Amino acid sequence: MKKTLTVNLWGQVFNIDEDAFEKLQKYLSSLENKFSKTPEGKEIIGDVEARIAEIFKERLAISRQVVTLDDVYFAIGIIGLPEDFDIADDGSKEDKDESKKTEKSRRLYRNPDDRILGGVGGGLAAYFGIDPTVVRLLLVITFFFSGPLIYIVLWLIVPEAKTTAQKLEMRGEPVNLSNIEKNIKDEFSKVKDNLKSKNTKKNIKDATHHLGEILVSIIHVFFHAFTIILGFAFLILGLVFLFSIFVGVFFDGASTISVTSLFETFIESNLLTPVTIGLCLFIGIPIILLIITGIRFIFGIHHSFKLLRKTLGFSFLIGLILVIFVVISQSLNYKTNNQMKENIKLDSLKNKTLIINVTNNLKNKFNNNELECNSYIFNCSQDSCVLYGKTQITIQKTDDSLPSISIVKFCRTKSKKEGSYFLKQIPSTVIITDSVVSLSEYFTIHQNNKFRFQKETVTFNLPVNTNVIINGTEENDENIYFEGNYSYSEIKGKNCVMSEEGIVITNSSL
């Protein structure tokens, strides 16, 4: 059993054995190599093709349907090998003798098979029989002299070795059928294209076209260099991202803020797995793509990795869906507002001076392992991270006869029921002993309690003429509010009194 191909020879359709096809193809390409130099070459080849078709028709008419290798040999026997054609050419015998003598002589062509820009380097290398890298190195060395100019001039004037025969000449190998055969292999269609374009081009057009080609090539090389640089940038960026995520997730302790603790604080336990997978896909896949793109740019890989791209795209979509799902279900946990208000009358104060002591209750205040956002602070020690809320302290004037403290706790939850639970979990920070009210700057949102926008405000309602001293830390600037024209740092630790215009410093303290 043999595989056959269908070919169109001069408008005639033939079924042809595969081996016969290859032989025929080689034969025709060798003819094309011979005649492509002459303008009428195409017509001659057309004549030959027509004749071959005729011979095949005659032979097939007997009994067979498929053109075999024998038929091809028969046709070649009748028509003759390209060398045998020479008898009809002008002075061809002399030429042939001469070419035999000068078999080793080479011609300078630009080498299209070994090129970076115009193939001048490859051509020169083939001409002198040296490694093209040496030529290129020379060009680089002479870059600041006249190397590039010589290169461009050579590019313009040296023809490109388009046909196999020219390529053989370039390397100084004799142009004969066996060599051509050796070189052609399956270049049939390529040669045919060359032949076509060569015949249709006009000379002037050719020259401008050539110049254009040079410009395009130069741009191409710059573009190529640019893509390589871009590729490296992508690769490095991708690897840095990947590395930092790897460190962040798997070596939690290495970063100042524990990512795991952050997640545990802000996201429900049952959503932790989906959000982890989702985020890994959502962030990881673009990074992987970045790295792959980088590698493709650097090595000039044009393969499109369809399956890989589909898989990555699909995974990315899954990640996106997971993240959206988590965001939606998480945000449902914040739909109900809850508030709890507690009023404490300061009966014991009488005419004594009220002393407000604000203390900083953070364990690791100065180790910098904290993340602050609005009135929340994420404070990390070596083994755990705890979220704190900032207590908001307000001192205001009241028309009541007695001073009082009102403590308001707030949170947002899924339901009222959940709300009351979370409200209870907000610790009371106010301790009243006689005329001294101690309160902490921060309240703990315990690690086992999820984040629910917990807020705590402590409001001092003071009648006019109440004496007060506020003791606090430097940072209380942000969370202590009071009526009056003074700033916190001005009144801190000083004897003050509540007046009609708010807090004022009493003279006795001066």
Partner 1 sequence: MNIENTKAQMRKGVLEYCILSVLSNGDAYASDIISKLKKVQLIVVEGTLYPLLNRLKNDGMLSYRWEESLQGPPRKYYKLTSEGEKFLNELHKVWKELVENVAQMNNQFNK
Enumerate binding residues for partner 1 (CB under 8 A): 9-12, 35, 40, 43-44, 47-48, 50-51, 53-54, 57-58, 61, 77-82, 84-85, 87-89, 93
At which residue do the structure tokens 């042809």 appear? 16
Nearest approach in angstroms of CB 42 to partner 1 is 10
Of residues 86 and 268, the one with the C-beta less far from partner 1: 86
Cβ closest to partner 1, residue 58 vs residue 372: 58
Q: How far apart are CA 39 and CA 198, in angstroms?
A: 9
The residue among 22 and 54 lying less far from partner 1, judged by its C-beta, is: 54
Longest dimension (CA), the chain: 134
Structure tokens at 262: 């952050």
Instruction: Please report how close the Cβ of residue 165 comes to partner 1 at its closest, in angstroms.
Output: 16
Tally of residues, the chain: 510
CB 99 within 8 Å of CB 50: no
**DSSP classification of residue 110:** B
Query: What is the nearest approach in angstroms of partner 1 to the Cβ of residue 53?
Result: 5
Q: Indicate the burial class of 88 (C-beta count within 10 angstroms; 0-12, 13-18, 19 or more).
A: exposed
Residue 86 Cβ, how far from partner 1 at the closest point, in Å? 8
Smallest gap, in angstroms, from Cβ of residue 84 to partner 1? 5
Which two structure tokens, joined as six digits, stand for 62? 């007997």
DSSP state, residue 224: H
* Closest separation in Å from C-beta 224 to partner 1: 44
HSE at residue 336, side-chain half, CA atoms within 13 A, is: 13
Between 86 and 173, CB nearer to partner 1: 86
Give whichever of 40 and 342 is closer to partner 1, judged by the CB atom.
40
Distance in Å, CB of 109 to partner 1, minimum: 25
- Give least dist CB 58 to partner 1, A: 7
What b-and-e string marks burial along 182-194, b requiring 16 or more CB atoms within 10 Å of the CB? Answer: ebbeebbeebbeb
Separation between Cα atoms, residue 378 and residue 381, nearest integer Å: 10
Helix 18-35 to helix 41-60 angle (10° resolution) is 150
SS3 content of the chain, % helix, strand, coil (to 5): 55, 20, 25
Nearer to partner 1, 83 or 475 (CB): 83
Name which of 56 and 316 has its Cβ closer to partner 1: 56
In angstroms, the Cα distances linking 124 to 92, 107, 132, 400 are 29, 10, 8, 103
Please say which residue, 94 or 474, places its beta carbon nearer to partner 1.
94
Nearest to 79 by CA among 43, 53, 106: 53
